[in-house]
Amino acid sequence: EPEVTQTPSHQVTQMGQEVILRCVPISNHLYFYWYRQILGQKVEFLVSFYNNEISEKSEIFDDQFSVERPDGSNFTLKIRSTKLEDSAMYFCASMLLAGGSSYNEQFFGPGTRLTVL
Amino acid sequence: AQSVTQLDSHVSVSEGTPVLLRCNYSSSYSPSLFWYVQHPNKGLQLLLKYTSAATLVKGINGFEAEFKKSETSFHLTKPSAHMSDAAEYFCVVSPWQGGKLIFGQGTELSVKP
- With cut-offs at 50, 70 and 90, classify the pLDDT of residue B84: very high
Query: Cβ A91–B99 below 8 Å, yes or no?
Result: no
Which 3 state secondary structure label does DSSP give A84? helix
At B23 the pLDDT is 97
- Residue B82's identity, in one-letter code, is H
At A96 the pLDDT is 86
Give pLDDT tens digits for A97-110: 765 545 678 899 99
Give pLDDT tens digits for A11-59: 999 999 999 999 999 988 989 999 999 998 899 999 999 989 999 999 9
List helix spans (H) across chain B. Answer: none
Closest by CA to A92, choosing from A41, A10, A24, is A24
- Residue A45's identity, in one-letter code, is F
Nearest CA distance, B88 vs chain A (angstrom): 11
**Rg (chain B; Cα; Å):** 13
At A100 the pLDDT is 54
At B107 the pLDDT is 97
Q: For residue B43, give the chain A residue with the closest CA.
A: A110
Nearest CA distance, B58 vs chain A (angstrom): 15
Question: What DSSP assignment string belongs to A16-71?
Answer: T--EEEEEE--TT--EEEEEEE-TTS-EEEEEEEETTEEEEE-TT--TTEEEE--S
At A99 the pLDDT is 59
At A80 the pLDDT is 96
Other Cβ atoms within 10 Å of A99 Cβ, number: 6
Closest by CA to B96, choosing from A104, A57, A37, is A104
Q: Which of B43, B90, B98 has its CB closest to that of A109? A: B43
- Residues 33-92, chain B: which have Cβ within 8 Å of A? 36, 41-46, 49, 51, 90
Q: Which residues of B touch A33 (CB under 8 A)?
A: 100-101
Q: Are A92 and A108 in contact (CB under 8 A)?
A: yes
- Residue A62's identity, in one-letter code, is D
Q: Which of B44, B97, B105 has its CB closest to that of A42? A: B105
Other Cβ atoms within 10 Å of A25 Cβ, number: 27
At B51 the pLDDT is 79
Q: Which residues of B touch A41 (CB under 8 A)?
A: 105
**Rg (chain A; Cα; Å):** 14
Q: Are A39 and A88 in contact (CB under 8 A)?
A: yes
Q: Are B106 and B89 in contact (CB under 8 A)?
A: yes
At B27 the pLDDT is 80
Q: Which residues of A touch B90 (CB under 8 A)?
A: 42-43
CA distance B50 to B30: 10
Query: Cβ A48–B99 below 8 Å, yes or no?
Result: yes
Q: Which of B43, B51, B99 has its CB closest to that of A108? A: B43
Give pLDDT tens digits for A48-94: 999 899 999 999 999 999 999 988 789 999 999 999 999 999 999 99
Nearest CA distance, B51 vs chain A (angstrom): 7
